[in-house]
Amino acid sequence: MNLLVTGGAGFIGVNFVRFWRAAHPDDAITVLDALTYAGNRASLDGVTVDFIHGDIGDSVLVETLLAGRGIDTLVHFAAESHVDRSIHGPDAFIETNILGTHSLLKAARKVWLAGSGVAHRFHHVSTDEVYGSLGPDDPAFSETTPYAPNSPYSASKAASDHLVRAYHHTYGLSVTTSNCSNNYGPYQFPEKLIPLFLINALHGRPLPIYGDGMQIRDWLHVEDHCRGIAAVLAHGQVGETYNIGGGAELPNLTVIETLCAAVDGAFAADPALAGRFPEAPAARGAPTAGLKTTVTDRPGHDRRYAIDERRARDELGYAPQRSFAQGFAATLDWYLANESWWRSVLDGSYRDWVAANYATR
Ligand code: NAD
Ligand code: TYD
């Protein structure tokens, strides 16, 4: 294949590019990324790709890339992805997730349908959050669950999903969409629950639990997600959507307790950690759980997400390979071994961006 990966310097995009490169050493991969606060060029160090620093909203650039490089497969990750940011500053979400996706679709239509006419695929990466929030006994989200997004983030992703669908039905663009659950793993920006809490724990900072902490998410190791996307590209039906889950529905408090116990265990097993992270409670033998702090709940906080995985399993042969315990242990090891990565992404450029975009927060 000849791939264009948008958002390939962000968390899931980096993992996907690394996954694809390992499985397909001869494929051409072009990464298009605007390098917002969430994108990091260095996350792709050592991987053979053509990196283009640019915006998905720049349709001339995208058309040039698609036509000039003979791209046949576009995997679209680029987005504003954090719910809390969407609450405090929704405009960037409308701009990137809706207008940016539409701009990509227009370019794909122009080059692939009106131009070359080559076999192509536009794969759109979306979220289970478009389906809204479940009650404790509701059935899990299936591909036919009606959309009911509750945050500006999920509403912007829902809009992009509808546009992708419309470009298939109206113009015949060969699209697929996957809606996945909460990812975790290497290279995740430390604003999302797991990396934020890990890094706070290492610095002895509070672990801010929203509300009662009993919100439920289905945790998906990012490598399993990449395998799911590869399965959609290989076996998915054009025009269809597939839900990809991790088979690990857990309340936040359980995730946080797992994290605290794992950090305590890591410090007990490796005395060098106390020297590297002297502010961590675990460095002096105190429980990390002592950092847990209840804070005001997120406005409109969705209570429960869950994925009905039957379609992906039956039609794609997809099943997650990692349990949460295995995936989490590997993730903790990665963050402990890659301190320079998370220190570099938390540096000045991030602080400047937050100051410019969230001055009133
Ligand atoms: P991320 O925030 O870590 O990375 C987003 C990437 O997109 C960054 O590299 C950023 O620089 C780039 N980007 C942003 N705006 C751009 C623009 N206008 N042009 C080009 N590049 C731009 O996000 P992620 O967690 O890797 O998520 C990837 C995709 O998966 C998103 O579409 C997100 O909605 C979806 N998703 C994520 C999760 C999750 O748990 N992280 C769950 C479900 C769905
Ligand atoms: P997050 O990682 O932001 O993903 P999403 O909102 O897309 O599910 O949050 C995961 C869960 O953790 C969610 O229920 C909100 C909660 N949470 C906290 O309790 N405290 C925090 O500081 C963060 C970032 C999230």
What is the average pLDDT across 74-85?
A: 98
Where do we find the tokens 């959050």?
129
Q: What domains does the chain contain, in order, with CATH numbers?
A: 2-187+220-246+303-321 (3.40.50.720)
Rounded percentage of the chain residues whose pLDDT exceeds 70: 96
Pocket test for ligand 1, best of 4, 6, 11 (most atoms within 8 A of CB): 11
Instruction: Kindly report the protein residue whose alpha carbon is nearest to atom 42 of ligand 1.
Output: 182
Rounded CA gap, 321 and 329, in Å? 14
CA 205 vs CA 62, 149, 177, 291, 355: distances in Å: 42, 32, 38, 7, 21
Q: Is 161 a catalytic residue?
A: no
- The arithmetic mean of pLDDT across residues 45-70, rounded, is 97
Query: Cβ(315)–Cβ(163) under 8 Å?
Result: no
Residue 57 to residues 9, 32, 170, 199: CA-CA distances in angstroms? 17, 11, 21, 33
Residue of the CA atom closest to atom 4 of ligand 2: 192
What pLDDT is stored for residue 62 in this prediction? 98
Q: Per residue in 188-202, pLDDT tens?
A: 999 999 999 999 999
Determine whether the shortest distance from the Cβ of 215 to ligand 2 is under 6 A. yes
Judged against a pLDDT cut of 90, whether residue 167 lies above it is answered with yes
Catalytic site residue from 55, 80, 128, 249? 128
| CB 192 less than 6 A from any atom of ligand 2 | yes
Report strand pairing: 249-251 vs 216-221: antiparallel
Task: Summarize pLDDT for 290-321 with one digit per residue, the tens.
Answer: 999 999 999 999 999 999 999 999 999 999 99
For residue 322, report the distance from its CA to the centre of ligand 2, in Å.
Answer: 21
Beta bridge partners of 31: 5, 51
Ligand 2: which residue has its CA nearest to atom 7?
A: 83
The whole-number pLDDT of residue 358 equals 44
Q: How far is CA 125 from CA 65, 205, 213, 250, in A?
A: 20, 33, 27, 23
State in Å: Cα 345 to ligand 2 middle: 19
Percent of the chain predicted with pLDDT > 90: 94
Decide whether any atom of ligand 2 lies within 6 Å of the 196 Cβ. Answer: yes
Q: Are 73 and 3 in contact (CB under 8 A)?
A: yes
Catalytic residue among 55, 129, 223, 264: 129
Confidence of residue 355 (pLDDT cuts 50, 70, 90): low
101 C-alpha to ligand 2 centroid (Å): 25
Atom nearest to 95 CA in ligand 1: 18
